[in-house]
Structure 1
Amino acid sequence: MIVKVIDYGQGEVNFVEYLVSDLSCEQLNYLNDNLEEKTRIEGNDLIITMNFDDELYPFGSEVAKFRLDDFISREEIEMNIFLSSFLEDM
């Protein structure tokens, strides 16, 4: 499984959008059907959109502005771990 942050924004709605690839068809459908977050399937990939309150938004701090690549990498790793554990229940 490969997880990439493909979009994010802060404003009226704080969000992070993830592209999840390299999933089996069964895994793709399981995640799409069972995650509480907004999901959609595009080709063989899953797109997950998560909304955050201001205090929980991962890219909202001053440090994130200077070390954005580190924060994006951490978000990708954390989502990968979350999805891997979620798939264990499959």
Structure 2
Amino acid sequence: MIVKITDFDENVEIPFIDYDVAGLTAMQMKFLEENLDEETSIDGDILRIRLYFKDIFPFQSEVAKIRLDDFIAREEIEMNVFLSGFLEDM
């Protein structure tokens, strides 16, 4: 599974991060789309997830602004681990 952050915006009413997830089977994508609480869609062989943040946005700190690539990589890894654990229930 490959998780990639494709977009994010903290300067909107409800900040969000968009993820593209590749390397899943059709059955895994359908399972995630049907069972995740987040906004999801399937585009070919890519599962798209939009995660909204009402409290703390992961990239809002001053350190995150300086080392944004590191924070993005960490978020991608965390989403990968979360989805992998979620798929264990499949």
What TM-score do you get using the length of structure 1 for normalisation? Answer: 0.96
4+ residue runs over 6 A deviation: none
Name the structure 1 match of 2:30: 29
Name the structure 2 match of 1:18: 19
Q: Deviations over 1:11-35 (max 9, x none)?
A: 2120000000000011010001100
What percentage of residue pairs aligned between the two structures are identical? 55
**Secondary structure at 1:57 match in 2:** coil
Name the structure 1 match of 2:67: 67
* Structure 1 residue ranges without an equivalent (≥5): none
RMSD after superposition: 0.7
Aligned partner letter, 1:40: S
C-alpha separation in 1, matches of 2:15 and 2:61: 13
What TM-score do you get using the length of structure 2 for normalisation? Answer: 0.96
Shift of 1:42: 0.6
Q: Would you say how many aligned residue pairs link Structure 1 and Structure 2?
A: 89
